Amino acid sequence: MLTHLVKKIPNSALRFGRLPILIPKMPNNNWKPVQYATASACPATEGKPHDHSFHFKIERLFATGMVPLFPASLFIHNPLMDYALAVAISLHCYWGFDAVSSDYAKPLGFKEESVKFIRLGVFLVSLSMFVGLLRFNYNDVGITKAFEMIWAL
């Protein structure tokens, strides 16, 4: 009986994540799909203050923007490229280490207060890295020229 029902589910419903909600017909007890629901791994959080989907989209756009930035930095040596690299590297490292610390610190048995201090440490290390890269760009040759000098050795 179930295989007969599965054959009636359209392929488009399965491709787009819609699963049939089955409700029995009362007189003859046959099951038919009567309504489609959207399957989702997380509840809808639109408009709530802790909506992480927007942050995830920004991270993905930023990571996609970094793909042409690094090869371009091999050929373009100017302060604008140096500062763009400083921002990109610092933000990428901060978002990555913050995600690791928030995802894995709690399952390892750290308390909520300890997790906050760990994340504060990640922020301070990332901030000091950003300030160090800015100082290196301002007081020295810059990130792009430094990599060119390293590869020239």
Known binding-site positions for a ubiquinone: 104
d(CA 114, CA 112): 5
**Which residue, among 88, 82, 83, has the nearest Cα to 61 in the 3D structure?**
88
Long-range contacts of 78-86 (CB under 8 A, 24+ apart): 78/144, 79/137, 79/142, 81/144, 82/137, 82/142, 82/143, 82/144, 82/145, 83/134, 83/137, 85/133, 85/143, 85/144, 86/130, 86/133, 86/134, 86/137, 86/143
Binding residue ranges for heme b:
92
Binding residue ranges:
92, 104
